[in-house]
Chains A and B, each alone.
Chain A
């Protein structure tokens, strides 16, 4: 894996700015990959062995995606909307997985690790670079059973909504009454159609 500063620079470029979330995301991804035995996750063959579950859609997520190469469109990046600064790194080949949570206490330690910096945001950013991993993260070994319908690779599962005719991929269909339906037809939509 490349050096931290190189990855941080690349991540900041890809994301659009540098911030403490980028630092956390890059360090989280580097440590996560190390713990599950992947050192070149963006390259073949390792790119096919990694799935990452992120639990927030903020800056750190982009950093994790940059460092590891996981992408939503590749089905290697999974978004679990928990609102927690955490990510789980899964090695599909060995089954090894770790969940890494960014500690809230790290925010309060910023002054200790970067006393030379007065600007609060800059202080956090620098402190997170210097901070011990133990202080920055809570890490635990976990087991993730990835469903066949969540696996990367060609589409294996297709169904057709019996109400609207929409093709539904990856077993996201539901059975309501005795009809196979897409989720919008069965559960409602997140949008409201605009009638002209």
Chain B
């Protein structure tokens, strides 16, 4: 960003004089509430038929560009900026619009931002880049960020400084592939085990995990029995299991023994509790290459919980620890909106 204090040498023509002249940049048309986009693209030769529309758009004067060797047009500059900022899994159009390029996901995965580098990049003069939050689960083609130069023409030296920095920090943006995790599930609860009520957790877990490319290989329903839960986890560990998920029994009542069962099963690294609501009684643990998540019962009621924040990170091969769980505190409060828009909201967007 910063001020462009250098006046660039443009010749200005009135709209009548400009007939037959190629446009130096895209001409944006705004119809309030309906449309904002280029009405005329860069390079379009203005015809007498265009004059009326251009005047209605408030365009009465035009720049004619005669670039010096040390000057770069915004369309050329933004291609360089996008190239320098985009790491693996991030693509962008070959045709900038209005001097801007949107960076998109090449494949589904976990979007990662080098936040500090992005901030520093925006301290350079005459360039900008804005993105969505890091650690967001993204779909293919989803918009991730956008970049542009501020002036219509940028000095090459100024541009090069920003480019050199972005290249040194490569990748500022990337998308991590999701692994097709093999998941095994333990539903706990005396009431479900005895058939007093029908389990609803299995469908929720299957829907959320398969949406990211994982498979639920096996599901068992157990009573609130510490020994049985522990034994089942050990059985799962003997199989080809990437992730074990337990549901329920994570709170403070005498019947809540799932956490104890997990501890007994021999997991080496266990983090219990997270600075997220809903999901404070969450457990995350690791044993060799297998992770375990203990989901509190809030997942039955709330559409979005800590499960939705941690699952994509495990799917991307990450091993979030105590610090990561604490970092979620900033943005970790779900507002329980009537219509859930997650992930397009502040929930889980630690920054």
Contacts and interface: CB of A to CB of B under 8 A. Distances in A.
B92 A175 contact: no
B94 A177 contact: no
A122 interface: no
Contact of A175 (B89, B93, B94): B89
Contacts of A92: 95
B176 A177 contact: yes
A20 to B, nearest CB: 35
B138 to A, nearest CB: 12
B177 A148 contact: no
Contacts of B90: 171
Interface residues of B, number: 27
Interface in B82-120: 82-83, 86-95, 106-107, 109, 112
Contacts of A147: 91-94
Contacts of B316: 177
A145 B95 contact: yes
A13 interface: no
Interface string B67-95: 00000000000010011001111111111
Nearest to B87: A175
Interface string A49-89: 00000000000000000000000000000000000000000
Interface stretch (A21-29, A99-107, A150-158): A150-158
Contact of A171 (B41, B91, B318): B91
Interface residues of A, number: 22
B317 interface: yes
A39 B82 CA distance: 34
A175 B88 contact: yes
B305 interface: no
Question: What are the 5 closest A-B residue pairs judged by CB atoms, nearest first?
Answer: A177-B317, A175-B88, A148-B94, A151-B94, A175-B174
7 contacts: A146-B94, A148-B83, A159-B88, A173-B88, A174-B107, A175-B177, A178-B317
Given A175-B177, A180-B88, 8 more contacts: A147-B92, A148-B83, A150-B94, A156-B83, A157-B83, A174-B177, A175-B112, A187-B177
Interface of A: 92, 95, 145-151, 156-157, 159, 171, 173-178, 180, 186-187
